Amino acid sequence: MSETHVSLSAAERFSAEQAVAAGTDFAELRVAAQGLFWNEFRPSDGACRIWHWRDGQARCLTPNGFSVRSRVYEYGGGSFCLSDDGLVFVNEADQQLYTQDLNGGLPQSLTEGVRRYGDLRWANGHVLAVEESHGPGAVEHRLVAIAKGSREVLAEGADFYASPTLSTDGSRLAWIEWSRPEQPWTATRLLCCQRQADGQWSTPRCIAGEAGPQQSLQQPHFDPAGRLYCLSDRNGYWQPWGETATGWNPLPAAAADHAGAPWQLGASTWLPLDEQRYLASWFDNGFSRLGICLADGSVEDYSADYSRFRCLDLDEQHLYAIAASAISPPAVIAINRQNHHVQVLAGGALPLPAERISRPQALRYRSGDGIAHGFFYPAMNAEVQPPLLVFIHGGPTSACYPVLDPRIQYWAQRGFAVADLNYRGSSGYGRDYRQALHLRWGEIDVEDACAVVRHLAERKLIDPQRAFIRGGSAGGYTTLCALAFHDVFRAGASLYGVSDPQALARATHKFEGDYLDWLIGDPVTDAERYQRRTPLLHAANIKVPVIFFQGELDAVVVPEQTRSMLEALKANGIRAEGHFYPSERHGFRTASNLAHALEEEWKFYRRVLEGS
């Protein structure tokens, strides 16, 4: 690894406001005869809006007063689908379905009430969706088909559902389901049923996931001939499997994850084209590749200069994706299938000159009894051994990616090297790596965070006496554990982080209702283990400054947790700051709040470094 030596004046630095403004993102891309559609989030107004691209022109379809975002499972996903004459979407404010034509008309309500909807698919005049209802003391999920004036329950009885999909001829319906205490990345089932002569559906049949070794299945698809396919991690990675004459078998695929952990609904990282070909993206040492994979194991590579691909779709002329690279933020791209020419349809504008962007370098280092991964970003200044800021992603079964992150550039331009970690338990490196966190949350993730400081210090890339750590949500928990149980970091920042996992287990939502049992253990029988790994109970061990950021509407990590930790540190005489945002939930979305948090975190670290 080599340093990047670029001295920047204060005027040249990326401001917090600029970093936030560069955070435009995209999701849920769809292609149809009417053109290309995507969901776009802009921090300037905090809304998600559908855009329509056709004949070289893009226009926004979502009028003011609407935002397209689902809250099923709290994390949402699959918030719109294309209909025969327009689109159907979930409105963020009321979580109801609305229809909209493509001629500029106002959205019209399709559903009314308090149920939530997500993972929308259009099939034969109906919207297939995951439905969530909140009753007294219970949250229930089911699959439904909705049309104007009608609602049909397709499946119910399981705890969770995802990915309802109908074959082209309408004769077969497939979906993913799972039961507590499993998570969608530990063990799920693929089910399928047939349309009978009387129009009713047959009794569902489990295709995979019921017997044999545990496997996580996601993203089922039918090909044009009606064959069913799905991603399964049965062989160690999320790879394509499909129906064949000899049964349910794996397709030729790279020994790599072809998807990330399904925290959100509606992912599309692969698509079967026919019995001989499929389109897919997959991870190679943390970097994404994109290609059309053939039955003989060969690949036609379309990766170009990008390092992450999401939301794949295609037509006869182009492959479409949301893509990003080390020097370009997320963009909607079209790749010509014949000559591989890439056209950027939206996004992708460099927020900084290329020479002022710190580039990610793959990290692979020894930690405890294992190997950990991540990405190293050199500081953008001439200091030989700069301070280090360790980024801990949330999840914790999630991942970071080697793409342009304005937040990381903000720190690199202020003289910090950044280590963005995919600690053991992260997705993208296979099932075993992901499962390594089982019952060890608060141990091996923390071990990996501390070990990266030693690894980089041994290579003279950072100053280990000026190492800082930050994380949001589950990353906040790892941050607080690192500060409470290890003497490695000079200070830290917790953004809506977990300080009391037992309190989280009591207050959290259904989707993560059993997650703590998997991560740490049973709260009753393993109470001692919880006590050993609860930062709030060991606040007296923290001897360095900590800054907290919290949304008052957070339903995942409730504000009382953060206040309790903040008060405990202050009572022990530790410098601690707390910033609470009345309108924010779990993860901040308002531009002014995002910029304020980033700026306050920088000021906090600067005071620590200056000793003031």
Q: Residue 577 in contact with residue 607, Cβ under 8 Å? A: no
For 391, other C-beta atoms within 10 Å of its C-beta total: 23
pLDDT digits (tens, 9 = 90+) for 188-242: 999 999 999 998 999 999 999 988 889 999 999 999 999 999 999 999 999 999 9
* 344 and 392 belong to one structural domain: no
Has residue 453 been placed in a domain?
Answer: yes
Residue scoring higher pLDDT (590 or 127): 127
pLDDT at 508: 80
Read off the amino acid at residue 69. Answer: R
CATH code for the domain of 603:
3.40.50.1820
Calculate what percentage of the chain has a pLDDT beyond 70: 98
What number is the average pLDDT over the span 511-516?
92
What number is the average pLDDT over the span 326-342?
97
Q: Does residue 2 carry a pLDDT above 50?
A: no
Spatial distance between the Cα atoms of 158 and 217, rounded to a whole number of angstroms: 15
pLDDT at 8: 56
pLDDT at 3: 43
CA 27 from centre of chain? 11
Has residue 503 been placed in a domain?
Answer: yes
Q: Does residue 519 carry a pLDDT above 60?
A: yes
Residues facing 409 on adjacent strands: none
Total structural domains in the chain? 4
CATH code for the domain of 116:
2.120.10.30
What number is the average pLDDT over the span 72-86?
95
* 396 and 407 belong to one structural domain: yes
What number is the average pLDDT over the span 273-281?
95
What number is the average pLDDT over the span 354-360?
93
* 498 and 375 belong to one structural domain: yes
Q: Does residue 591 carry a pLDDT above 80?
A: yes
What number is the average pLDDT over the span 457-482?
97
Read off φ and ψ for residue 12, nearest 5 degrees: -85, -15
Helix (H) or strand (E) holding 506: helix 501-507
pLDDT at 45: 83
> Would the pTM count as exceeding 0.75?
yes
Query: What average pLDDT does the structure give for the chain?
Result: 94
CA 39 from centre of chain? 15
Q: Does residue 60 carry a pLDDT above 90?
A: yes
What number is the average pLDDT over the span 405-429?
96
Residue scoring higher pLDDT (22 or 178): 178
Has residue 59 been placed in a domain?
Answer: yes
CA 194 from centre of chain? 33
* 150 and 182 belong to one structural domain: no
Spatial distance between the Cα atoms of 355 and 273, rounded to a whole number of angstroms: 40
Has residue 21 been placed in a domain?
Answer: no
Q: 3-state DSSP call for residue 587?
A: strand
Q: Which tokens in the block code for residue 163?
A: 């990915």
pLDDT at 11: 54
Q: Residue length, the chain?
A: 612
Q: Does residue 5 carry a pLDDT above 90?
A: no
Cα-trace Rg, the chain: 24
Calculate what percentage of the chain has a pLDDT beyond 90: 86
* 411 and 519 belong to one structural domain: yes
What number is the average pLDDT over the span 156-160?
97
What number is the average pLDDT over the span 272-287?
95
Q: 3-state DSSP call for residue 293?
A: strand
Q: Does residue 539 carry a pLDDT above 90?
A: yes
Contacts of 226 (CB under 8 A, 6+ apart): 167, 168, 169, 171, 172
Using alpha carbons, list the distances in angstroms from residue 313 to 34, 292, 332, 502.
14, 12, 11, 42
* 419 and 372 belong to one structural domain: yes
| Order of strands, sheet of 318-324, starting from the edge strand that comes earlier in the sequence | 308-314, 318-324, 331-336, 342-347
* 513 and 593 belong to one structural domain: yes
Read off the amino acid at residue 535. Answer: P
- Banded pLDDT at 7 (limits 50, 70, 90): low
Longest dimension (CA), the chain: 78
Identify the CA nearest to 273 among candidates 219, 217, 222: 222
Contacts of 610 (CB under 8 A, 6+ apart): none
* 359 and 374 belong to one structural domain: yes
Q: At what angle do helices 444-458 and 474-485 cross, to 10 degrees?
A: 70
Characterize the bridge pairing of strands 205-208 and 217-222: unpaired
CA 219 from centre of chain? 15
Helix (H) or strand (E) holding 571: helix 559-571
- Range(s) of the domain holding residue 181: 159-301
Q: Residue 429 in contact with residue 416, Cβ under 8 Å? A: no
